[in-house]
Structure 1
Amino acid sequence: MPRRLAIVGLAAVLACPALAQQVQQNQAIPYPTTPQPAETQTNQGLGQNVQQREQRVRQGGAPQDTRAQTNQGQAGATAQMGQQQSQADRQYVEQTLAAGTVSLQASNFAATKAQNPRVKQFAGFEIAEQNTLSDVMHSMAEPTATSSTTKGAQQAASTAPELPQNDAAAMERMSKAQGGPAFDKDYVAMQLKGHQDLFAVQERYLQGNPQNRELMNVAKLAMGQIREHIALLQDIQKELGQ
């Protein structure tokens, strides 16, 4: 009886060509007698061996994440760009505050020592302008500063600007000078050079493709005002016979 069942089963298998073909294929596949360790088996998704997978995990990725190193490189580049931008913001604020301080102090002297009406009038304009610009810059060091204000800008805004030696010497000279035509000419010449230098500071910052929207807008507005003051100073200088 068992022999008859075996014959019937074999006949049924042979009667189905697809199933018969599968049986023949299975019989032809050589199976290893000893299983291979998982570490020696190649898997393109996981890497060549367990050491590679462990290395990816230490780099912050999943065992199968082959992009972990690339992602780390991109994050490092982004951080470096952020540091460069922060440094550019700091330099811009420092230079703007330093030039503004010199212009403000000189204008304070001119407000009492200048004799030419136009020179005295310009000094009043400059005092108001520099006080406003200084308030804007120092506001970036306050706790309510926007999140886009970089650390470099905050540090520069909270620190008293360091004046170049030649500017400090000019302040000393003007503080001791007597009012009169010579003082007026000296003040106008000094203001003209200071405004040209301050214009260059704004221009360099904007050409650096800044990401700080607040500072970028300040620089754009300042450039327009500085350009007008340069034209006014040049006109006054001609009137003084320089």
Structure 2
Amino acid sequence: MLRRTAMTTLSAAALMPVLLRAASAQTASGSSDAQLRQRILAASTFSLTSSEMALQKAQAPAVKTFAQFEANEQRATMQAMKIAGIPMPAQVEMDAQKMQMTQQLRGLDGAQFDRMYLQGQTTGHQELLQLHQALLASGTKEEQVIATLSVASIQQHIAMLQAMA
């Protein structure tokens, strides 16, 4: 019995560094996943905010139609994340570049607004595509489900944006 206890203790001691590295990697991964979610939410917030503006300010009917689809999609994606139990911050802040573009869009109307909105949406969708693809590789099962659906939709939207540009 003493020999079995000693062997178990030695085995546990030998495995401890491996277990600690695995736990540390999970914590780091969880932290990077949280940062990834934050970046996705910031990009989604920009997309939603600028699309809501486009519903009022855009000139081209195709741009207004795209903006309505995009606003609806962003609201639905955020709702799906909540339903899936994905941690969501109470408030999402956009980075300085997105804030600046939002301010610029507020000062534009008509064709000028359309051009800048399409440019911002194209850049934003390319960013969202990369972020969701990263979430596919590292996220939880629930996040991977959302990302799988999002990637297909984002790819379609990029094609639509390129056709309108």
Q: Which has the higher contact order (CA 8 A, sep 6+)?
A: 2
List, as ranges, runs of 4+ consecutive aligned residues in structure 1 with deviation greater than 4 Å: none
Alignment of 1:173 with 2:116, yes or no, is: no
Structure 2 equivalent of residue 203 of structure 1: 133
The structure with the largest helix share of the pair is 2
Q: How many residues align?
A: 163
Query: In the alignment, residue 198 of structure 1 is paired with which amino acid?
Result: L
1:60-101 deviations in whole A, cap 9, x for unaligned? x93343212123223212312321221232022101100000
Structure 2 equivalent of residue 193 of structure 1: 123
Alignment of 1:222 with 2:153, yes or no, is: no
Unpaired segments ≥5 residues, structure 1 = 1-44, 47-60, 146-152, 238-242
Q: How does 1:55-66 map to 2 (within 5 A)?
A: 62-65=5-8, 66=10
Task: Answer whether contact 1:107 1:124 (CA < 8 A) is retained.
Answer: yes
Q: Distance in 1 between matches of 2:64 and 2:139?
A: 39
Percent of aligned positions with the same letter in both sequences? 28
**How well do the aligned residues superpose, as a CA RMSD in angstroms?**
2.0
Distance 1:133 1:211, change over 3 A: closer
Alignment of 1:82 with 2:26, yes or no, is: yes
Task: Answer whether contact 1:88 1:205 (CA < 8 A) is retained.
Answer: no
Q: TM-score, normalised by structure 1?
A: 0.62
Q: Distance in 2 between matches of 1:103 and 1:80?
A: 34
Structure 2 equivalent of residue 94 of structure 1: 38
Range that drifts further, 85-94 or 118-127: 85-94
Q: How does 1:133-144 map to 2 (within 5 A)?
A: 133-139=77-83
Distance apart, 1:139 and its partner CA: 4.1
Structure 2 equivalent of residue 103 of structure 1: 47
Distance 1:231 1:181, change over 3 A: same
Unpaired segments ≥5 residues, structure 2 = none
Q: Distance in 2 between matches of 1:87 and 1:181?
A: 42
Q: Distance in 2 between matches of 1:218 and 1:127?
A: 17
Q: Distance in 2 between matches of 1:122 and 1:113?
A: 13
Q: How does 1:42-81 map to 2 (within 5 A)?
A: 46=3, 62-65=5-8, 66-81=10-25
